[in-house]
Structure 1
Amino acid sequence: MKSVTFKCFTLLFSVLLFLNCAEQTKNDIPWLVLFDGKTLNGWTQIGGEALYEVKEGAIVGRTVHDTPNSFLTSNAKYSDFILELDYKVDPSMNSGIQIRSNSFPHYRDGRVHGYQVEIDPSDRAWSGGIYDESRRGWLNPMTENKEAQKAFKQNEWNHYRIEAIGDTLKTWINGVPASFLIDEKTSSGFIALQVHSIKPEQQEGTEIRWKNIKIITDSVAKYATKSPIKPIITKNQLTIDERKNGWKLLWDGHSTNGWRGARLDDFPNKGWEISNGELTVLSSGGEESSAGGDIVTKDVYGDFELKVDFKLTEGANSGIKYYVDTDLNKGPGSSIGLEYQILDDKRHPDAKKGNHKGSRTVASLYDLIQADTTKYMNPIGVWNSAHIISKDNHVEHWLNGMKVLEYTRKSEAYRKLVSESKYVDWPNFGELDEGHILLQDHGDHVSFKNIKIKPINSK
């Protein structure tokens, strides 16, 4: 009898010890509380004028008419983290949780942009998907994830787990894996609670509530969760919205398909390197085209939009040319075109040169028009985004989401600029109806990726 009693006691003790250890392990997770349940301390509203208040231990956001999207943003910025929270949303609303998001004066006058974990109570049921607010649109929709679509609970509290570690973003809705995205666009930013703008016919004052907002920022990888979902990778790929809007990849991220040397039938056999999804012109001591030479698209383009991510090394010089003519039989116009300058303005002497002041600085129309001096350039070694729009001879240069110059090809003002530049000896410079896109080998180490074009008129 004593033996049985002892065994029972031992078993009970073991169970209690296990439960205690499990609870202790759970409590050892370094959660930080982002909302104290009583005040909005640590949060700031930007964007629109929706109403935010604390009620019954939750943050309550209410819609108002005639205002853009509103965001209650964390005062702190976060890079790698695990975030958990609960939310309850009116069935007629659309909302989201911004992560790694930012608001900069140079980007659309301070507009909030960045990753958004969707809150979608509509029949589409994309809650837990990842949207790129005010930038690229949908990155990881819920089209193929029926289990996650069914996990959302209408008119009830729902739970999100969001993991952002390095270039990997993962989400869960009520414990069900939702999104798995690998994207390199943004590594740090604030967290924000969105109240979406509403149409005039929609009810004002509809609510969304958030509570139990907590985050892990210490030893994040230790607490990461595996996801069974196949990841969506955006590097050198078209997003769902880009495909819908007619964009095409100009470079596939791993081959030389679609490109050749500017003065060659094939791609150069030296001077360029393809590695880790990056197309890099190698350094040859700063001597222009002394190694592999410039490369061009095999196709030519008329009206277009072009997007290219580029990364500089110290003192580097390169460029993106458009409306390029590579016909060697046409004399001085060969391999010449309008150039979006790529340059380390602080260290390269070209920044102080040019027939027009400042016209050889980064994002300028090389030797013709200086880019806006309030432009924002990421530090050396960090990726920057170039965007060129050319339609009906009206051309715009954009850098990191900011329009930095515009001009009209073939206009009197444009021709006057050319007559005062190094291009004066090239007849009809920059006035081709269509031409190649060119990446310049200026002898410096410069990398490119995510090269995409939306042709309006091409062959």
Structure 2
Amino acid sequence: MFAAVGFADGGAIDPAQEAWYKKYKSQQNAPKPDEMLLNTDPEPDLSEGFVDLFNGEDLMGWTPKGGTCKYEVKDGALVGTVTPGSNSTYLSTDKTDFKDFVFTCEMKWEVDGNSGVMFRAQTKPGKNGETVFGPQAEMEGISGDRYWNGGIYGQSCGGYFYPVWLKEHKQARAALDREGWNRLTISAQGNVIKTWVNGVPVAHWVDDGTYSEGFFGLQIHKGAKGIVHWRGIRVKEL
């Protein structure tokens, strides 16, 4: 069960995040800082009841959507590589009706690049084929000065549902290991979504019911470069 709801203390924007706040505060999905909830829960127990979504050998059970970035299996890990000129690409589970769950995986970067994990994702027709849209647990990479890993982005549906810009998010912004593996955990129970990065609580977002079920998708963002590794991709349906 979730712990008591935690509210941000007056929605205090961290001074180090002021420029990002000014950039995103008018975005369609941007929350009011003083209305943001805090994730104060410990990371869920990941030891029992999980099934593997990736077999460590091939891409069985997964299909790329949205672009032509490359996915392959190397040394038991799933590796995604940017294809210059491609749209963002999402290696997506063939199962499309995940509802309530705890999802976890480990990620690391061989070459820096924006990434993340779509959940309860959906598709719609786009200008150049199929468009993946819905909530994404952001894993933005190992450089830059934003540090919103574990935040929740509305991919192709209006931008950040949960930016990691408050003073209370300082520990969350420091959670990423920029050289090694990083564990991302997502809990979805009803309309309450929470995330953790390396066991550190990050997001607490309450959906309005729009995204109640869908598929998981591993993002390789469009760009000039980027190589991301995944392993330990598991889910426990609730």
Normalised by the size of structure 1, how large is the TM-score? 0.39
- By how many angstroms is 1:182 displaced? 0.4
Structure 2 match to 1:37: 56
Larger relative contact order, structure 1 or 2 (CA cutoff 8 Å, min sep 6): 2
1:40 partner SS: coil
Matched letter for residue 93 of structure 2:
S
Structure 2 match to 1:111: 131
The 2-side partners of 1:146 and 1:167 are apart by 25
Report whether the alignment pairs 1:140 with 2:162: yes
The 2-side partners of 1:80 and 1:107 are apart by 31
The 2-side partners of 1:59 and 1:140 are apart by 27
Report whether the alignment pairs 1:47 with 2:66: yes
Matched letter for residue 118 of structure 1:
E
Report whether the alignment pairs 1:102 with 2:122: yes
Equivalent in 172, 189, 199 of residue 165 of structure 1: 189
Matched letter for residue 75 of structure 1:
D
Q: Is the 8 A contact 1:62 1:207 kept in 2?
A: yes
Q: Is the 8 A contact 1:60 1:208 kept in 2?
A: yes
- By how many angstroms is 1:64 displaced? 1.2
The 1-side partners of 2:153 and 2:198 are apart by 19
- By how many angstroms is 1:169 displaced? 0.5
The 2-side partners of 1:99 and 1:111 are apart by 14
Report whether the alignment pairs 1:186 with 2:206: no
Matched letter for residue 221 of structure 2:
H
Q: Is the 8 A contact 2:66 2:129 kept in 1?
A: no
- Structure 1: runs of 5 or more not aligned: 1-24, 221-459
Equivalences for 1:320-331 in 2 at 5 Å? Answer: none
Equivalences for 1:86-101 in 2 at 5 Å? Answer: 86-90=106-110, 92-101=112-121
Q: Is the 8 A contact 1:162 1:172 kept in 2?
A: yes
1:147 partner SS: helix
Larger radius of gyration: 1
The 2-side partners of 1:213 and 1:88 are apart by 13
Instruction: Tell me which moved more, 113-122 or 187-196.
Output: 113-122
Equivalent in 130, 134, 150 of residue 128 of structure 1: 150
- By how many angstroms is 1:109 displaced? 5.0
Equivalences for 1:326-337 in 2 at 5 Å? Answer: none
Equivalent in 193, 196, 199 of residue 175 of structure 1: 199
Aligned pairs, how many?
188
Q: Is the 8 A contact 2:186 2:193 kept in 1?
A: yes
CA RMSD of aligned residues (A): 1.9
Q: Is the 8 A contact 2:124 2:133 kept in 1?
A: no
1:103 partner SS: strand
- By how many angstroms is 1:26 displaced? 7.7
Q: Is the 8 A contact 2:65 2:130 kept in 1?
A: no
- Structure 2: runs of 5 or more not aligned: 1-44
Cα–Cα, structure 1 residues 136 and 212, in superposed 2: closer, same or farther, change >3 Å?
A: same
Matched letter for residue 63 of structure 1:
V
2:172 partner SS: helix
Report whether the alignment pairs 1:152 with 2:172: no
Equivalences for 1:22-421 in 2 at 5 Å? Answer: 29-77=48-96, 78-90=98-110, 92-105=112-125, 110-120=130-140, 121=142, 122-144=144-166, 145-184=169-208, 185-198=210-223, 202=224, 204=225, 206-217=226-237, 220=238
Q: Is the 8 A contact 1:91 1:155 kept in 2?
A: no
2:93 partner SS: strand
The 1-side partners of 2:76 and 2:88 are apart by 24
The 1-side partners of 2:110 and 2:162 are apart by 23
